[in-house]
Amino acid sequence: MHVEAISELMGFVFPNEQHVTWTVMIVLYPYITGLVAGAFIVSSLYHLFGQETLKPVARFALVSSFAFLLFATLPLLLHLGLPMRAFNIMITPSSTSAMAGFGIVYLTYMALVVVEVWFSMREEIVNRALAEKGFLGFIFKALALFDLRVDDRTRALDHRVVKFLAGLGIPIACFLHGYVGFLFGSIKANPWWSTPLMFIIFLLSAIVSGIAVLILLFYVISWLRRVEVDGPCVQTMANYLWGFMIIDVALELMQVLSIAYQQMAEWEALSVLIHDKLFWSHVVLQLLICSLIPFLLLGLNSLVRLGQRTRNVLIFSSSVLLLIQVLAMRWNVVIGGQLMSKSFRGYTSYMPGMWDREGLLVAAIVFTVPFLLLRFFDFLVPLFPSDSAIGKGRL
Amino acid sequence: MIEDGSDVLDRASLAVGRRQFMKIGLVGAFSLLVPFAVRAAERAPYKREDYTWGFIVDTTKCMGCGSCVRACKAENSVPDGYHRTWVERYTVLANGRVEVDSPRGALDGFPEDPAHPKKDVAKSFFVPKLCNQCATAPCVQVCPVGASYAAPDGVTLVDRKRCIGCGYCVQACPYGVRFIHPQNGYADKCTLCYHRITKGLPTACSQACPVGARSAGNLKDATSRIRALLNSSRYGVLKPALGTNPKCYYIGLDKEVV
């Protein structure tokens, strides 16, 4: 149920707005879909655009995307007032609603990712099906759809299919996440959300968070396996991360600057929102700490000749900060937009509970499960090809 | 004996009298119902296509007693802490500052304002708020499952059996009139007392208002009170720039009210 937090009011808030309707779960939902879209785009950079240095992480990126995608809707389900009716959104969609297309977009993308993951892993699945005996062998045979042929012809076909799906997946991934931005950007009642920029900001921040989480996982996995991290691979990802974060943060700043400069009627209320209610989470955390520092560190990494150890420190810490930056951005949009009353005369406050259905503990569990799932996928089929620099075998 | 005979006679006449009394009583009782029966026969069944419901609030009359808020809560079982209607108090101070409050949505009316002595107040007025019954309602537009819909008679309603409780309509309403029911999980808001107005009864809030500051009416009926008021007064709607085309009209609307 919706959190009955004790809200601190400032000024005049419409009586029904004292309760924040969209909670931390709705912060988590665009965050997780962002990781999906970002990771997918990294995988496509290799599969489609032939960015060879990304080969060690390409398939892992694709599987990560799949793992996050499986849990992207869970926060929504936890949030719904009547979750048993969740499928109504697919059975009886309303054609005028921006939200109604969600089911179609999500399922299309899910189907595409599942097929692409299968084709990219087919050979490994077949190898395990041939190696394993008994029940496990049967499971792998079923996963291979009982077709155990592997030769140059099948490899070529697998490769072609993966390349085609990687190409098709880019517009769909962009659409999936841009669409989430549109859900907010199209709400004219809320001046903090209502901007056409929201679509593109969500998309770029998704790519930033997706690349950042892959870099982070790549480092952690390399450390767990006690192997040197693949330098050119992380360097390529770090360069992309720097580029995308610059565009992303520039657009985030442009959004605020344009409404500030236009001095529309809502600006008076919005400026209090930014300078008071969201000062720490937006100005300090999102912009000063988590945007400015990674911008400088990644710039240093890209422009200056450095040793690999120094690079590792710069890239790793920037990735952590940018993951926090995107989470803070989601919070500032979703929660921030609801803190300001539509009376434009007052502000409410919100602090998620710890133990309730939409509380912090559940949010932490929802966010952790995809990572555990990745570990399970790695148990099924090794996520890193044996010829990659990250070493042989599984985690 | 004469006395006895007269006694028999009296009893006989009394027995007849009792029967007659019963007859007269029954006829009389039924005849009392005749006007109701005639009225029921006269009243045509409710035809949605003959109506476009609107609402009018006379802010110059409202005195902030909160009767409408209490009546609405009682009529529609509005959960504590949420409001289908509320009343706002605007206090314009002599120094130009504007202060707005609505303690508990004016469920208990308004207490005296000790913070502002009379000499500091330039003007003060009350504004009741409720669903604006927008002709182009953003809540209807965004509902992903069609649970929020506009009835053919112009009233925006929520189908509780379809609503999934996503809260998108709550975000889309520029007037803050919607909420997710804290116990039942569906979206809730003012229905213009649809169960009453379709039976020819006034809304609970307008019936309770002691000064006639608020009432629903048929915009299609040229002889309706709402049409007469719209034709004879200057009025405004809330947030017209958003293009929601509200059918809730405010007489004497001040620029401070949003």
Q: Confidence band (pLDDT; 50, 70, 90) for B138? A: very high
- B48-129+192-251, CATH topology level: Alpha-Beta Plaits (3.30.70)
Spatial distance between the Cα atoms of B180 and A152, rounded to a whole number of angstroms: 58
**How many CB atoms neighbour CB A92 within 10 A?**
14
Which residue of chain A is at minimal alpha-carbon distance from B238? Answer: A343
Spatial distance between the Cα atoms of A41 and A211, rounded to a whole number of angstroms: 8
Q: Confidence band (pLDDT; 50, 70, 90) for A7? A: low
Cβ within 8 Å of residue A183, ≥6 positions away = A98, A99, B168
Is B180–A2 a contact, with Cβ atoms under 8 angstroms apart?
yes
Whether residue A97 lies within 8 A of chain B, CB to CB, comes out as yes
DSSP letters for B46-85: P-GGG--EEEEEETTT-----HHHHHHHHHHTPPTT--SS
Predicted pLDDT at A5: 46
Packed helices A231-262 and A293-303: angle between N→C axes, nearest 10 degrees: 140
The closest CB to that of A188, out of B138, B166, B184, belongs to B138
Judged against a pLDDT cut of 80, whether residue B11 lies above it is answered with no
Predicted pLDDT at A103: 84
Judged against a pLDDT cut of 80, whether residue A129 lies above it is answered with yes
In the three-class reduction of DSSP (H, G, I as helix; E, B as strand; rest coil), residue B149 is classed as strand
Is A342–B178 a contact, with Cβ atoms under 8 angstroms apart?
no
When the candidates are 3.30.70.1450, 1.10.10.10, 3.30.70.20, 2.40.50.100, the CATH number that belongs to B138-188 is 3.30.70.20
Closest CA to B120 of B142, B89, B99, B145: B99
Domain ranges of chain A: 18-380
Are B93 and B99 in contact, with CB atoms under 8 Å apart? yes
Q: Quote the CATH superfamily of domain A18-380.
A: Formate dehydrogenase/DMSO reductase domain (1.20.1630.10)
Q: What is the mean pLDDT of residues B84-92?
A: 97
Judged against a pLDDT cut of 50, whether residue A128 lies above it is answered with yes
Cα of A194 to nearest chain B Cα, Å: 11
Cα of A7 to nearest chain B Cα, Å: 12
Q: Confidence band (pLDDT; 50, 70, 90) for B252? A: very high
pTM score: 0.89
Whether residue A224 lies within 8 A of chain B, CB to CB, comes out as no
For A130-141, write each residue's pLDDT tens digit: 999 999 999 999
For A355-379, write each residue's pLDDT tens digit: 999 999 999 999 999 999 999 998 8
Is A96–B141 a contact, with Cβ atoms under 8 angstroms apart?
yes
In the three-class reduction of DSSP (H, G, I as helix; E, B as strand; rest coil), residue A125 is classed as helix
The closest CB to that of B186, out of A18, A81, A94, belongs to A81
Predicted pLDDT at B12: 52
End-to-end alpha-carbon separation of chain B, Å? 93
Predicted pLDDT at A393: 43
Is B176–A86 a contact, with Cβ atoms under 8 angstroms apart?
no
